[in-house]
Chain A
């Protein structure tokens, strides 16, 4: 209850955002906005959860998409299993979702326990190595995963509580709710005392330890939660594409999430979402004119990184903070003279 009171402003914003998203999805007959936004929900959760590590904790992971893919595969494989859907009946979809989140979380405990003790480049490369390990498993375990073809033949989605995920409207609203709930979980996490402990670790881990913070444990908790949220992104994409594909576990998927963060901004909570939208629109627009999309997108990112030296929202935030700090400093000077 206390939580609801303390976060009432953020919860109201989240509720309003959900209303707008649902209104767009249900109000427009054309499928494009629904498809576009569902893809944003999936990519946005991947990028935002990765930014819990990069932006808030200072841990640059190059292997975050592994958890995204794992979530999608666990969800898809369970629902494709007749034994599972037969036994669970109408509860199949919710249980598969829970299994994807919990299963990925458990995998992240193991991977995280090894990785979070390292910092900087060593952390980045080890996470990348574990991602490529998962990618190889998916490719080579053809009997289970379909190898490079991915999970073929669609994912059955038994109706539950009157929700039929085979219906595009139902599916869209379901994904929108998942997205907003996950964003809200991350919001609470980053604005809690725990979230500020993450910032301490990012700024100065040694000092944080000297102030009694259990740095390794805090990093691990963050790693596991952010991996579980990435898994929800994978579930959304599995629902959207009615399958799961090995490219999701390829390093380029992690790279794209890092692009989104760099483009949108890593020190602003919603920065990665803006990055996801910007990259997606850029991609779609460029594709209309040329097939060399990577070159154009690469140039845009170069412009942002070299020109602004930070993401778009970081640029805005820094400008705002500098203005505010200058005003405070001036007030102090005047106060002393007066």
Chain B
């Protein structure tokens, strides 16, 4: 579904992405992990067109998307949610999702009808149901909880019915209980949506529990890619990132 081949990106002298080759099979649920500054968000920015790689290829269903504008990449089916929830504060949850759905249905520039068009309203109702946001639908996005804002951000990406959904730390800034709840929702959305889902996560328990495939980044390069068991027992990963039991606890 999504494949990266020898992707390189540097900023000045710093190599943020160093010869990265990765494969995310269709319908898989994968996690990207790595210490701060490992190049996780940069990797996302390269795929979504926010950044252009210095060299290498990024293939979505065998089509090279390098150099395409973010808008075009979105249209080709790569949706994204952000580390800091990127939402529309003055709109209600429902209105925000309707806007995203309208964009997906190519109705964003419709001038001669009243908002929302019937098909947009219907699809948005389904989406709110899917996200379980019925109780906050009429609240302003600025007024809902942090967790709901993160969920709304994911919902906005989901409204585009993406083939590949990329979530940059869906559980960032949440307490332990809320994290598990969130990742449960993400997993449910993936199961019901059938898309390829890639997420960045710091909590190892969550990653090992949920992800089918795990990619470990370190200093911009791929340290390892494999299943949870393979990563857990990978000597370099243990040394470089997971550390011993005590350092892992200290770093939390």
- Residue ranges of A at the interface with B (Cβ–Cβ < 8 Å): 2-3, 6-7, 188-189, 191-197, 199-200, 202-204, 206-214, 217-218, 221, 321, 325, 328-329, 332, 335-336
Tell me whether A321 and B112 are in contact in the complex, defined as CB-CB below 8 angstroms, given that A196-B102, A206-B86 are known contacts.
Answer: no
Q: Which residues on A sit within 8 Å (CB–CB) of B74? A: 210-212
Chain B 146-192 residues near chain A, CB threshold 8 A: 156, 159-160
Q: Are B115 and A192 in contact (CB under 8 A)?
A: yes
Q: Which residues on B sit within 8 Å (CB–CB) of A194? A: 108-111
Q: How many A-B contacts at CB < 8 Å in the complex?
A: 114
Q: Which residues on A sit within 8 Å (CB–CB) of B120? A: 193
Q: Mark B119-161, 1 if CB is under 8 A from A, else 0.
A: 0100000000000000110111001000000000000100110
Q: Are B112 and A188 in contact (CB under 8 A)?
A: yes
Q: Are B115 and A196 in contact (CB under 8 A)?
A: yes
Q: Are A211 and B156 in contact (CB under 8 A)?
A: yes
Q: Which residues on A sit within 8 Å (CB–CB) of B109? A: 193-194, 197, 214, 217-218, 221
Q: Are B90 and A203 in contact (CB under 8 A)?
A: yes
Question: In the complex, which residue of chain B has the Cβ closest to the Cβ of A194?
Answer: B111
Q: Which residues on B sit within 8 Å (CB–CB) of A332? A: 135-136, 139
For the complex with contacts A193-B117, A329-B143, 20 further pairs of A-B residues with Cβ separation under 8 Å are: A3-B113, A192-B112, A192-B115, A193-B116, A193-B120, A194-B108, A194-B111, A196-B99, A197-B99, A203-B90, A206-B86, A207-B156, A212-B74, A214-B109, A218-B109, A321-B140, A325-B139, A325-B140, A325-B143, A332-B136
Could you show 26 A-B contacts with beta carbons less than 8 Å apart? A2-B113, A3-B113, A188-B112, A192-B113, A193-B111, A193-B115, A193-B117, A193-B120, A194-B110, A196-B99, A199-B90, A200-B91, A200-B99, A203-B87, A203-B88, A206-B86, A207-B87, A207-B156, A210-B80, A211-B74, A214-B108, A218-B108, A221-B109, A329-B139, A332-B136, A336-B135
For the complex, is B231 an interface residue (Cβ under 8 Å from A)? no
Among B89, B95, B160, the residue within 8 A (CB) of A211 is B160
CA distance A24 to B160 in the complex (A): 51
- Residue ranges of B at the interface with A (Cβ–Cβ < 8 Å): 48, 70-71, 74-75, 80, 86-91, 95, 98-100, 102-104, 107-117, 120, 135-136, 138-140, 143, 156, 159-160
Q: Which residues on B sit within 8 Å (CB–CB) of A197? A: 99, 102-103, 108-109
